[in-house]
Amino acid sequence: MTGLTIPILKPVKRNQLIDGHGRPISDVRISVTDRCNFRCQYCMPAEGLPWLDRADILTFEEIQRLVGLLASMGVASARLTGGEPLVRKDLPLLVEMLASTPGLDDLALTTNGYLLERDAEALVRAGVNRFNVSIDSLERDRFYQLTRRDSLAQVLRGLEVLASFPEAHPIKVNAVALKGVTEQEILPFAKFAMEHPYEVRFIEFMPLDADRSWSSEQVLSGKEIRSILSEHYELVEIPREESATARVFTFADGQGRLGFIDPVSEPFCSDCNRIRITAEGRLRTCLFSIGETDLRDPMRAGASDDDLEELIRNAVWKKELKHRVGDAGFVQPARSMSGIGG
C-alpha cells in the first residue's frame, strides 16, 4: 500500500447525487484491480490481457477518499470488484478502511471464489456484509471449459468456508447464462439452491467480452431458463425491490431462491442507481459507457473534495438513459468486463 493515510474527519453532508434523468445514485461499484486468476471465455482471452502498471491503480487511501466523498453525496452502498478483487494484496485492510465510512450502509464484494478459502474470515471480520461468488458450472470439466482453470473444488471449498459465517449471509452464487452450455446446468443449480443457503442467480451474457465475439444468439434468456425450470418446479416470484437488478423466485415449498438478471432481454435501466469506478480511477456511469471521467489524476494533482464533487456531478448528470444493447448502432465498449469492474 502506498501514499499517506487520509484522516477521517467529520463528514460534510452534501446534496444527493442525481443524474439528468432524475435518478438518485446510491450504489457504486469499485474495481480494486484489473488482474484476474481466471480466464473466463465470456470475459478475456486465454492468454489474458495487458495489466495496468501498479502505480496507475488507485491506492487504498484514494479509494477511501472517493468512497467517503460519494457517501457524503448519498451513495450508501459500495461493492468491491475486479478483475478478481482477492488478488489485490491486503484487501481486508481496504475493507476495514471503508467499513467505517460515515453514510455507507452496505459493503459488498464480488469474487470468483478461488481465494475465498484463504480470505473469507478476514473479509467478514473486516466488514464485508454481502458476497457474490461467480460459479458458472457445477460440473468440473465444464467449469474448466468456461474458466480455463481446473478450480471448481477449490471454489466450492471457499464458498463453504464463507457460509460458515452467519454475518456473511445472504450469499449469492452468480452464473453467466450461455446458450448451448448453461441449459445443462439449470437443474443442477436448482437442486444446489434448494440444498444450500445461497441464492443462485443466472445472468444473461452481455457484450463485454475481450474477444468481441458476443452475439444475441449466445444469450440464454431468463425467460428460457424459467421455462425449463417450470417443467420440474413451481416457482413463486418475490416482489422486486426498487433499483434491484434481479427478479427473484422461491420454490413453492419455500426452500431455496433463484434470481434472474436479464439486462439483454429485460433491461432494468429506468431506475438504475449505479455508477462504477475503474481500477485506475475512471468514473463510468454505465457498464456500456463509451466515455469515462478521470478522477485519479485530479486527485494526485491536488484537487479538493469540492473539485472532485463537481467532476462527479457533471459526469453523472450525463448518465445514459439506457444501455442500448440490441439497438441499431450499438457500440460495444473498448474495455472488457475485467477492465471495467463487475
Measured distance CA(296)–CA(29) in Å, rounded: 16
User: Beta 106-111 vs 77-81: how paired, if at all?
Assistant: parallel
pLDDT of residue 270: 77
The amino acid occupying position 46 is: A
pLDDT-derived band at 213, boundaries 50, 70, 90: low
pLDDT, tens only, 156-182:
999 999 999 999 998 999 999 999 999
**Other beta carbons less than 10 A from residue 191's beta carbon:** 15
Q: Which residue has the cell 484522516?
A: 7
Q: Which residue has the cell 474470515?
A: 121
Among the listed residues 150, 117, 152, 118, the one whose alpha carbon sits nearest the alpha carbon of residue 134: 152
Model confidence at 10: pLDDT above 70:
no
pLDDT, tens only, 183-192:
999 999 999 9
> What does pTM read for this prediction?
0.91
pLDDT of residue 199: 96
| Dihedral angle of Cα 235, 238, 239, 245, to the nearest 10 degrees | -90
pLDDT-derived band at 219, boundaries 50, 70, 90: confident
Of 20-29, 153-162, 207-216, the poorest mean pLDDT is in: 207-216
Q: Say whether 108 sits in a helix, a strand or coil.
A: strand
pLDDT of residue 327: 64
pLDDT-derived band at 79, boundaries 50, 70, 90: very high
Residue 52 DSSP label: P
> Could you give all domains of the chain from N- to C-terminal order, each with its CATH number?
27-340 (3.20.20.70)
pLDDT-derived band at 333, boundaries 50, 70, 90: low
Of 26-35, 223-232, 325-334, the poorest mean pLDDT is in: 325-334
pLDDT of residue 226: 96
Of 12-21, 250-259, 263-272, 277-286, the poorest mean pLDDT is in: 263-272
For residues 214-236, average pLDDT: 90
Of 19-28, 84-93, 215-224, 277-286, the poorest mean pLDDT is in: 215-224
Model confidence at 5: pLDDT above 60:
no
Model confidence at 1: pLDDT above 50:
no
For residues 187-205, average pLDDT: 95
Q: What percent of the chain stands above pLDDT 70?
A: 89
pLDDT-derived band at 332, boundaries 50, 70, 90: low
| Dihedral angle of Cα 308, 310, 313, 316, to the nearest 10 degrees | -70
For residues 147-156, average pLDDT: 96
**Other beta carbons less than 10 A from residue 77's beta carbon:** 19
pLDDT, tens only, 302-318:
999 999 999 999 999 99
> Does residue 98 or residue 272 have the better pLDDT?
98
pLDDT-derived band at 19, boundaries 50, 70, 90: very high
pLDDT of residue 120: 98
